[in-house]
């Protein structure tokens, strides 16, 4: 059962006012920034950059941007020292100015992805409403602009192509609302959250996660298991296990502002 907005926020603010620390795990698209027509158009606005800059220097708040985007994209968009960045769901990390690869590239990775891309490209030829996104070490197929029935058919065919070409010992399939992705095996937000909290512990730490889609559910489960709070954003996905749901990225930003004021 979800808790009340004020009850959850009061618990977090009380923890901060009593001298505790927060580790924030923040998704980007749909959580900090509204979903844009294409990933390339989800550019951070000045208000968000200013808010994240203040969070990056807050003495008792550790801020982690944990996204399905490649780390290179996050570094380009968020040029803010002090943030921890997790690209490809945490396979690629930027921590204290150092890039850490939690899973090194394997021989043949590129060949497998190129084979999948070739098959998907052929499948999409002449079809409108689809977008092929190259993430470097991952590849994603977006179909949310296509006719729903056609999207379902094309994504099923794309999954068959993927199953034939993918090495299951090196890659995993991620899916969502008219979405399919092939990513490294360790592309899992829950495993990343568990790893970071274990490897970089903070005293009196309260982990708090904000996210909007099914890739965030694994992170939410780990955060709650560690005594933290999971907050869903929007209504694109059911997110049945969250402690609370906020309506929009605008509300997420307002909550983050209140955390800064509570220190």
Q: What pTM was estimated for this model as a whole?
A: 0.95
Residue 134: strand, helix, or coil: strand
Which pLDDT score is estimated for 193?
Answer: 98
List residues bridging with 84 in a β-sheet: 64
pLDDT category of residue 1 using cuts at 50, 70 and 90:
low
Checking if the pLDDT of 52 tops 70, the result is: yes
CA distances from 73 to 49, 84, 232 (A): 15, 14, 24
User: What is the tens place of the pLDDT at every residue in 164-195?
Assistant: 999 899 999 999 999 999 999 999 999 999 99
Instruction: Express the helix, strand and coil content of the chain in percent, nearest 5 each.
Output: 40, 25, 35
User: What is the tens place of the pLDDT at every residue in 32-45?
Assistant: 999 988 888 999 99
Domains and CATH numbers, the chain: 5-103+187-261 (3.40.50.1000), 109-184 (3.30.70)
63: phi then psi, degrees, rounded to nearest 5: -115, 120
User: What is the tens place of the pLDDT at every residue in 65-113?
Assistant: 999 999 999 999 999 999 999 999 999 999 999 999 999 888 888 899 9
Which pLDDT score is estimated for 192?
Answer: 98
């Amino acid at each position: 059962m979800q808790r009340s907005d004020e009850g959850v926020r009061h618990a977090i603010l009380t923890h901060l006012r009593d001298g505790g620390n927060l580790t924030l795990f923040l998704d980007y698209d749909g959580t900090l920034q509204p979903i844009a027509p294409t990933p390339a158009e989800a550019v951070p606005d000045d208000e968000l950059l200013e808010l994240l800059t203040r969070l990056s220097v807050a003495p008792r708040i550790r801020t982690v941007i944990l996204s399905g985007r490649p780390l290179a994209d996050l570094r380009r968009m968020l040029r803010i020292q002090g943030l921890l960045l997790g690209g490809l769901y945490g396979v690629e990390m930027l921590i204290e100015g150092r890039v850490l690869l939690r899973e090194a590239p394997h021989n043949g990775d590129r060949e497998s992805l190129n084979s999948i891309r070739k098959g998907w490209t052929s499948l999409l030829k002449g079809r409108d409403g689809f977008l092929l996104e190259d993430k470097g070490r991952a590849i994603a197929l977006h179909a949310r602009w296509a006719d729903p029935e056609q999207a379902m058919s094309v994504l099923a065919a794309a999954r068959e192509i993927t199953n034939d070409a993918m090495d299951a010992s090196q890659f995993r399939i991620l899916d969502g609302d008219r979405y399919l992705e092939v990513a490294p095996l360790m592309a899992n937000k829950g495993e990343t959250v568990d790893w970071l909290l274990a490897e970089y512990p903070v005293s009196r730490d309260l982990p708090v996660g904000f996210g909007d889609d099914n890739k965030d559910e694994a992170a939410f489960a780990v955060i709650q298991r560690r005594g933290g709070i999971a907050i869903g954003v929007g209504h694109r996905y059911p997110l049945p296990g969250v402690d609370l749901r906020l309506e929009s990225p605008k509300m997420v930003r307002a909550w983050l502002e209140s955390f800064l004021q509570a220190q």
